[in-house]
Structure 1
Amino acid sequence: MTEKTTRLADVQADSLKPFNQTEAKAAFSVLKEIAASQPTVAELLKSEAPLKDFLVAALSLSPYLRETATIAPSLVATAIDVPLQSHLEAVVSQARQSWKNGASEAELMTALRKAKREVSFLVALADLAGIFETRETTGWLSRMADAAVASAIDHLLLSAHASGKLKLSDPENPSAGSGVVVLGMGKLGAFELNYSSDIDIVVFFDPESGIVADPDDATELFGRLMRRLIRIMQERTADGYVFRTDLRLRPDPGSTPLAVPVEAALIYYEGRGQNWERAAYIKARPIAGDISAGEWFLRQLVPFVFRKYLDYAAIADIHSIKRQIHEHKGHGAIAVKGHDVKLGRGGIREIEFFAQTQQLIAGGRMPPLRTRVTEQALAALAEAKWIGPEVAKELTEAYWFLRDVEHRIQMVRDEQTHRLPETETELKRIAYMAGFADIAGFSKALEAVLRTVEKRYAQLFEQETRLSASEGNLVFTGQNDDPETLKTLARLGFERPSDISRVIRTWHYGRYRATQSVEARERLTELMPDLLNAFGRSSRADDALLRFDGFIKALPAGIQLFSLLGNNPALLTLLVTIMAAAPRLADIIAARPHVFDGMLDPSLMAEIPTRDYLAERLTTFVGGARHYEEVLDRLRIFAAEQRFLIGIRLLTGAISGERAGRAFTDLADLIIEQALNAVQAEMHLAHGDYPGGRVAILGMGKLGSFELTAGSDVDLILLYDYDSNALESSGPKPLDSSRYFTRLTQRLIAALSAPTAEGVIFEVDLRLRPSGNKGPVATRINAFRKYQQEEAWTWEHMALTRARVICGEASLVEEAETVVREMVALSRDRAKIARDVREMRDLIEQEKPARDIWDFKLIPGGLIDIEFLAQFLALVLDGSASTATGSETGNGTARAIATLGPSLMTADDIEHSLQTLSFLTELSQIIRLCVDQPFDPREAPVGLVERLCAAVDLPDIGRVEAEVKARTKRMREIFKVIVTS
């Protein structure tokens, strides 16, 4: 193109029609006002030159151009007078140098805004006049963006140098050798910027470049500079803005700073980069900063972007990105009114993806395909015989036609939109700007182009395999939500599909250790339809999946788990059940994922966790431990895993609440015995044995009566005895008897309850020992006997009815059992015991009343009433019938009522008491398993509410509540009748 033909004055542009007469008159009025200060414009208006009609038409069609002409009237004269090409060169060059000569930030911002306004105005007129083809328009806009960003970067580096925050090697050329890499992405990188485009850039820096004194400060420093860059580029002032600037194409934008260290970026792309990021980097180009460093950086990314082998796997992934951007109504079908010419069917993005997908597939082996420019990529694909020349020609023509339409849409009001108007009137504006005589001609041409693109695009992707055709879209690639996927998630049962989509994208970003490997993400992608189906069927699916997110976040690796879940639907269902119904269990596996390993045992649900079953596994698990701390850690791991697995059986209904209480208790017995053995062995090493020393552990409360829950602490009393003639232990650090057995007890408590990396085994409560917290932590057997005979209160003898010797030296175990049996069997004044029991119950009710009907322990007629009733029966009946209720196999409280009740209770009362105990035990076991907080059916996971209803065979939680009230009301009446003087 010669200079002569780049003047508007020399172009016959009478084919552009004005929008209407009213708008034409308004445009002419604006030109008349401008003519008062611009002789060139005045001269034009006196003439009959086609240029006059063109300017009137252009300003009538574009309110933005008319407004710009009003703000900067000299631009109209410039457009008429100067050779546009050389003048634009000068404006862009001046913008690039605007950081020089000590320009302040405000001066730089003004200069860049004026330059952008001038370039936009002149390019728009040249475009509408047909002087510039669309490819030239995009080129000038891209060069302006390059100049603006580069000038701003130089200014920012120089200002940081001047303030002493960094030291440039050449302040006259700030970017040289700075290690600051600024890449233009997308259309900017390919010199294809649209008229009102945002610009996508990514910024990297080399902390070792030498310009920052302390490399550790570089991230914060460059982050601040990038925030200033955004302000320079996009803050609206009286002079407008330069370009809206988007830095979200950087690695993992949700968790990285605005400027990313080069090495961190390379590591990210090597290990976690996704296909959509590969596609984005096809067009990447260094536009500012250290250009040579930017070129080096892109060379390092070539193996990531263009893989050595044919990459057909990229097809479905790239197509999923296309589906992701069908955001609004109308994208799903060919249309004219309201159609999005960029993102809709047959639009610009389909042409870009058509080219980029094949570039990704074959670019690793065919370097000529590695071109940034869409038109050149299509030509290269035809040259390489990947597509036919007719396809390349069709799509190239379609591409520039659609880009031309896109520019007209944006020229109207300088808005970043790609959507055609919905109304006839506004559609006519676009048709006229595109050079058509009417809407019908424009619509026909546009529809033909859109259908051509749609056909070619569909042919490329016709082999695409959807993740789950039956469920619709499940697309989690890229940065934005796929609207069809959001609809699918909502249909599956998720109430906040956008939140769920964001969480799953986090997995695909590889932010968690479990999803960092490509293979893990592939397995997860394959699993996704089944996973979301399973979670969607659960109540409060969103909460359940968010708990699963916490689980994945804690996993050290994910390939094995995702593979197992993909091949084991029952395991997946079980995991979903946990996440949906049992937040407490979900928290456990999130904090300690190893407990999940036990769920992989295929016989889990078939095996009843008996004492022998647990003992065998504990012996195997702890047997290889070589030292004290290792033994304790293995006990902690085993206890956590087995409590979890017992809980799983309870949650799924494989065992009852009563059976679970027995299993939790058997597990506690075994762990306490092993811990005692380990502590005694450690005491032996440091302090030797105490002559004649014997130790036994007395389990109290729910531990004694086989009624532990998932969250119970353990009530213990440590009993001991020794040779009274001995003065101290036999080891290298001898201790007297009191200190020896006190230290042994303290070590046992620490072994069981001290928090470590593997958690706590049990919280230990010693308050039931003689004299409670005022007494010594360990009690000699004769002192224990004497205390029980002479000092113990009625409530302490009540506690003894549930006491059970768990472990210890055989002769002391027998002696302790005898003491307990004798104390419980003593003859007592029934009236006094009844009075004491009632007073104790009244005191509890007064000082710690029940929270609500769901406080099964404390409600009148609840578990305490039933337990006190059993303990009362054990204390007041004669010795032959009355034995320690916890010392036999079975549930201690139930056994006491069943065996002792007939002496004082009717058969109906016994049956009601036992049924109510079983009913409340079932509910409380499940609740304690699933939640840490007080149960409120309005706030509880719906899955938990459903499990409770199923456990007691009632249709809804309202019926469960009614049943609790009815049962406990009668139970309170029975308690009052029996526990009476």
Structure 2
Amino acid sequence: MNTESLPPEFANGTAWFGTPVRALQPMDAAKAQEELTTLTELAEEKGLSRLRSVLTGSGDLTTFLGTAASLSSYMRDGMQMFPETLEALFDTPLETYLNSLFDQIAAAALAEGVVEASIMKVLRRLKREAHFLIGLGNLAGTDAETTVHRLSKLADACVRSAVNFLLLDAHRQGKLKLPDPANPGPGSGWIVLAMGKLGASELNYSSDIDLIVLVDPTAPAIPEPYEAVETFVRLTRRLIRVLQDRTEDGYVFRTDLRLRPDPGSTPLALPINAALHYYESRGQNWERAAMIKARSVAGDIAAGEAFLRELQPYVWRKYLDYAAIADVHSIKRQIHAHKGHGEVAVLGHNVKLGRGGIREIEFFVQTQQLIAGGRFPELRDRETVTNLRRLSARGWITPDAERDLVESYWFLRDVENVIQMVADEQTHILPSDKEGLRRIALLLGFPGEDAFAERLRTTLRTVEQHYAALFEAAPQLSRHLGNLVFTGDVDDPDTLETLHGLGFQRVSDICRVIRGWHFGRYKATQSAEARERLTELTPALLEAFGQTQRADEALMRFDEFLSGLPAGIQLFSLLQSNPRLLRMLVMIMGAAPRLAGIITKRPHVFDGLLDPALLSELPSREYLAQRLADFLGGARLLEETLDRLRIFAAEQRFLIGIRLLAGSIDGPRAGRAFSDLADLTIQSALNAVQQEFERIHGRVTGGRVAILGMGKLGSRELTAGSDVDLILLYDYDPQAEQSDGEKPLAPSQYYGRLTQRLIAAVSAPTAEGVLYELDLRLRPSGNKGPVATHIESFRKYQNTEAWTWEHMALTRARTIAGDEGLCAEVEEDVKSILGSERSAEKIKHDAAEMRQLVLNEKPPRNAWDLKLVPGGLMDLEFIAQIAVLLGQVDGPRHTGTHDILQHLSGTFADPQIVVELTDAHRLYTEIDQVVRLCLTGPLDPKDIPPELADTLLGRFDLPEFDVLEAHLQETSERVRAHFDRLIGT
């Protein structure tokens, strides 16, 4: 039988999906055919004749299935896991089949003899089947609106089933007395509200779900009201476990309860009266915005709806609430700051939080709702697109804005879903390589990555323009500046009032500073033309700095920057004609004292910001290597080369930091870029030093050098302020007695002096500063031994004398420079040393003892001391290093902590622990990279620059700093528990 013998609606997919399947092109036709062959064998084995007929045919459905399987590992696994489901689609169309799965999910909670383990298993299997089918339908051409509604319906069903099971279980144990066990929710007192995307029925493919859990202690099912909170907190913990713990069957949904009132100090389940009191007395405007999408989804649904009705006056106010909009807007300041920063990078772009992304459309709608929803109830709908249409109907936005934003929204939601569909990963970031981008383009039905990139850029620009127009038109952003007079020696009273209105506090000091500019006290303002340009620029400068939360500090940093400039006319002209640069400069002065200090001391690094492609070019190794080669091109003398290396490294570190601050790259990618920069510049320094050294001392026969990067350099996790840990290894012909130059040296002396020269070349201060601070203490024998180590001595020491901590350090070792042949040998040596047999008990004991010693001798300063805090980065690094030493990491050798944690073997850590460890590392890395970029010292949460706080919140899409702190605390406690379990105390 083949597809010709089946009706056309089966061959083209209409019978399955309701419409003919979308034509997808494979990246590799042979791979697609290989997937079809595998599926065909499976269909034959299971006697699925109609599926086999399609798979061996040549119709559109055949091509679609092979292509989808070859482009998405998650779809491929789904097809192989559920071939019977595909066969069933010949009898039952997708929509009907999905509804039957939702019914089965609901029934699972009420089944006879169900226990927690069995409900977890059933929910995971049914969710996986439905999830696969929804994704397959999306790839086949089902529109994004239908897809997000199906995903939301699936999540609703799973949450409701889990809640019903737990209520019945509590009823069976006598903890509750349900009015109707056949319908557990009503009267139970357990209220589960869906927030965010789930609340709006707009869930994305691999989304977590945001919930708020409340308790009505007066509900009929609760025998003892005083025990109600404790009972439901325990049930809520179990609910989280049932839904999100990873087992051999996967997980249901990752669950987030951080949107509840005051999450750092309130229980997981909060009494409704306490919640109402909180919202009415202390509720923030961001919480009002969040409540727009709140929906009662499980448990006592009617009680949840009553609670939301009671909150209506809090959420929807009768007047035009522009002040509240300004407050809500402050939580998304990082989006507004992105506006107009040149071309958008497609590679690595975040389609949710990035410029022109989904969040801007959602925020556009929510602000209009908060302004108008109090007087117009029809604008209170939870769904984004419904509200766009209603806003247009009422004249709040133009028909063009409605059309553009609706079209853009569903296109971006499609892109977001497909990104996540490739491997079921909770990410909104497009791949940073062209092959990965091509995969996304093909899954969306584009002929290739160029056509997709062009459509995406157009969409992002469209969204950005509408979003920018909204806030430029908003009253709180349209200021009449008033008087700005800075002549004479006496402050003008009207000017002081204007400055105060702009956001400055120390207005007299600001007047004094600006008078200093106009009196030509700095080199940059000594020429009449420069002062004239600065006078024209001053109102824009003051308005821009006034919009930062610490306007005085930001402007004072700018003044310090100005004082060090050798000339100003070019900069003032550029800032005047290029608002993008002005906004970037203000962002640096407001959020990043460290970066502000860099451009104050080295104003030339600011030149790099003039590149219009800065934020659209990823700082890949190839990009940096090409830039470095061009920059070193004309250098001849050693001193000139070393100075150029310092200039280049300083500028590129600054530009990598700007990309990180602006959101063009994330923390892990910044770590790789900083490390690539170190690799390349240290290799160049070694080459230059060797060349000069050989001119005087000649060469040693068979002599070779390799540099081993250790610590954060080895793991490719350098930050903006990291020093670098190195070990220099050498080898030579055993017969060689000395070098062959004018001033010959014995081999050990030769390589010792060469290493000293390299240390000076890299770390000695010159007029251009230092290249890197070096740390060589990780070499054999530490500071007591020679600075250069013969390869045989290294092998012998590591195999016979090294301590546990030295082998732990070696897990991050990576050759970064030197002779290719020796580098390859060293890599093999390291692999062999790490693969040696060890006592698990001794290794774990040594590591736990060492960690406790660090805690005793160097306790963390506060919860934001991410390296030292219990459950912080050091604990994660120790877990990864011990796993490597015990051979508990799958696949090839990795040196990065995140990569190691991601590949922990199942015998060492179960899937749920792996997810929690890697999520924690991603969280810490993002915070650590941004904080070390912006601050010169530790982060004090009581004195954090507000713009930096906004930047961090934007990274995690969290509304308030307290929520981020609570999330950090929960994460560190979870990691510490895993450390104790895996390593021991």
TM-score by length of 2: 0.51
Alpha-carbon contact 1:922-1:952 (below 8 Å) kept: no
Aligned equivalents of 1:510 and 1:773: distance in 2?
52
Matched, 1:741 2:745: no
Matches within 5 A, 1:466-481: 470-481=480-491
Hey, what does 2:950 align to over in structure 1? 946
Alpha-carbon contact 1:582-1:944 (below 8 Å) kept: yes
Alpha-carbon contact 2:628-2:648 (below 8 Å) kept: yes
Aligned equivalents of 1:790 and 1:884: distance in 2?
22
Structure 1 residue 882: deviation in Å? 7.1
Hey, what does 1:460 align to over in structure 2? none
Which among 901, 907, 910 is matched to residue 906 of structure 1?
910
Aligned equivalents of 1:882 and 1:857: distance in 2?
27
- CA root-mean-square deviation: 1.4
Hey, what does 1:613 align to over in structure 2? 623
SS at match of 1:547: helix
Which among 928, 933, 936 is matched to residue 937 of structure 2?
933
Hey, what does 1:702 align to over in structure 2? 712
Which among 603, 607, 625 is matched to residue 613 of structure 2?
603
Aligned equivalents of 2:664 and 2:863: distance in 1?
27
Aligned equivalents of 2:827 and 2:776: distance in 1?
19
Hey, what does 1:492 align to over in structure 2? 502
Which among 828, 846, 863 is matched to residue 818 of structure 1?
828
Aligned equivalents of 1:529 and 1:881: distance in 2?
59
Structure 2 vs 1, CA of residues 580 and 901 (structure 1 numbering), >3 Å: closer, same or farther? farther
TM-score by length of 1: 0.51
Alpha-carbon contact 1:831-1:980 (below 8 Å) kept: no
Alpha-carbon contact 1:676-1:748 (below 8 Å) kept: yes
Structure 1 residue 722: deviation in Å? 1.0
Amino acid at match of 1:819: D
Hey, what does 2:589 align to over in structure 1? 579
Alpha-carbon contact 2:904-2:914 (below 8 Å) kept: no
Structure 1 residue 980: deviation in Å? 4.0
Aligned equivalents of 1:806 and 1:826: distance in 2?
24
Hey, what does 1:132 align to over in structure 2? none
Matched, 1:639 2:643: no
Hey, what does 2:701 align to over in structure 1? 691
Matched, 1:531 2:531: no
Aligned equivalents of 2:609 and 2:479: distance in 1?
31
Amino acid at match of 1:713: D
Hey, what does 2:669 align to over in structure 1? 659
Structure 1 residue 945: deviation in Å? 1.6
* Structure whose CA Rg is larger: 1
| C-alpha distance after superposition, 1:21-78 (max 9, x if no partner) | xxxxxxxxxxxxxxxxxxxxxxxxxxxxxxxxxxxxxxxxxxxxxxxxxxxxxxxxxx
SS at match of 1:605: helix
Aligned equivalents of 1:957 and 1:807: distance in 2?
42
Hey, what does 2:604 align to over in structure 1? 594
Matches within 5 A, 1:128-143: none
Hey, what does 2:965 align to over in structure 1? 961
| C-alpha distance after superposition, 1:472-517 (max 9, x if no partner) | 1111122221211111111110111110110011111111111000
SS at match of 2:957: coil
Aligned equivalents of 1:937 and 1:479: distance in 2?
39
Hey, what does 1:303 align to over in structure 2? none
Any stretches of 5+ residues in structure 2 without a counterpart? 1-477
Amino acid at match of 1:966: E
Amino acid at match of 2:940: D
| C-alpha distance after superposition, 1:534-573 (max 9, x if no partner) | 0000110000000001111111110110011001111100
Structure 1 residue 762: deviation in Å? 0.7
Amino acid at match of 1:493: G
Hey, what does 2:568 align to over in structure 1? 558
Matches within 5 A, 1:253-264: none
SS at match of 2:718: coil
Which among 867, 887, 894 is matched to residue 885 of structure 1?
894
Alpha-carbon contact 1:538-1:943 (below 8 Å) kept: yes
Which among 919, 924, 927 is matched to residue 923 of structure 1?
927
Hey, what does 1:896 align to over in structure 2? 900
Aligned equivalents of 1:636 and 1:910: distance in 2?
40
Matched, 1:629 2:639: yes
Matches within 5 A, 1:116-265: none
Alpha-carbon contact 1:824-1:884 (below 8 Å) kept: no
Which among 970, 973, 978 is matched to residue 974 of structure 2?
970
SS at match of 1:756: coil
Alpha-carbon contact 1:637-1:758 (below 8 Å) kept: yes
Alpha-carbon contact 1:752-1:760 (below 8 Å) kept: yes
Structure 1 residue 771: deviation in Å? 1.0
| C-alpha distance after superposition, 1:738-759 (max 9, x if no partner) | 2211111111111111111111
Structure 1 residue 726: deviation in Å? 1.5
Matched, 1:857 2:861: no
Matches within 5 A, 1:427-466: none
Alpha-carbon contact 1:825-1:883 (below 8 Å) kept: no
SS at match of 1:571: helix
Alpha-carbon contact 2:890-2:905 (below 8 Å) kept: no
Structure 1 residue 469: deviation in Å? 9.6
Alpha-carbon contact 1:541-1:580 (below 8 Å) kept: yes
Aligned equivalents of 1:496 and 1:543: distance in 2?
10
SS at match of 1:779: strand
Amino acid at match of 2:578: N
SS at match of 2:941: coil
Q: Kindly, what percent of the aligned residue pairs are identical?
A: 60
| C-alpha distance after superposition, 1:7-32 (max 9, x if no partner) | xxxxxxxxxxxxxxxxxxxxxxxxxx
SS at match of 1:903: coil
Structure 1 residue 884: deviation in Å? 4.0
Amino acid at match of 1:949: L
Aligned equivalents of 1:949 and 1:757: distance in 2?
38
Structure 1 residue 971: deviation in Å? 0.4
Hey, what does 2:660 align to over in structure 1? 650
Aligned equivalents of 1:507 and 1:697: distance in 2?
49
Aligned equivalents of 1:531 and 1:747: distance in 2?
47
Alpha-carbon contact 2:724-2:772 (below 8 Å) kept: yes
Matches within 5 A, 1:803-882: 803-877=813-887, 881=890
Hey, what does 2:55 align to over in structure 1? none
Aligned equivalents of 2:858 and 2:956: distance in 1?
28
Structure 1 residue 727: deviation in Å? 1.5
Which among 532, 546, 553 is matched to residue 543 of structure 1?
553
Structure 1 residue 979: deviation in Å? 1.4
Structure 2 vs 1, CA of residues 745 and 884 (structure 1 numbering), >3 Å: closer, same or farther? farther
Aligned equivalents of 1:546 and 1:686: distance in 2?
51
- Aligned pair count reads 508
Amino acid at match of 2:596: A
Aligned equivalents of 1:922 and 1:681: distance in 2?
40
Amino acid at match of 2:855: E
Structure 2 vs 1, CA of residues 962 and 752 (structure 1 numbering), >3 Å: closer, same or farther? same
| C-alpha distance after superposition, 1:389-411 (max 9, x if no partner) | xxxxxxxxxxxxxxxxxxxxxxx
Amino acid at match of 1:822: S
Which among 655, 676, 694 is matched to residue 686 of structure 2?
676
| C-alpha distance after superposition, 1:794-823 (max 9, x if no partner) | 111111110000011111111101110001
Whose RCO is larger (CA < 8 A, sep 6+)?
A: 2
Alpha-carbon contact 1:719-1:779 (below 8 Å) kept: yes
Hey, what does 1:787 align to over in structure 2? 797
SS at match of 1:710: coil
Hey, what does 1:271 align to over in structure 2? none
Alpha-carbon contact 1:856-1:863 (below 8 Å) kept: yes
Structure 1 residue 883: deviation in Å? 5.4
Hey, what does 2:285 align to over in structure 1? none
Aligned equivalents of 1:676 and 1:929: distance in 2?
27
SS at match of 2:567: coil
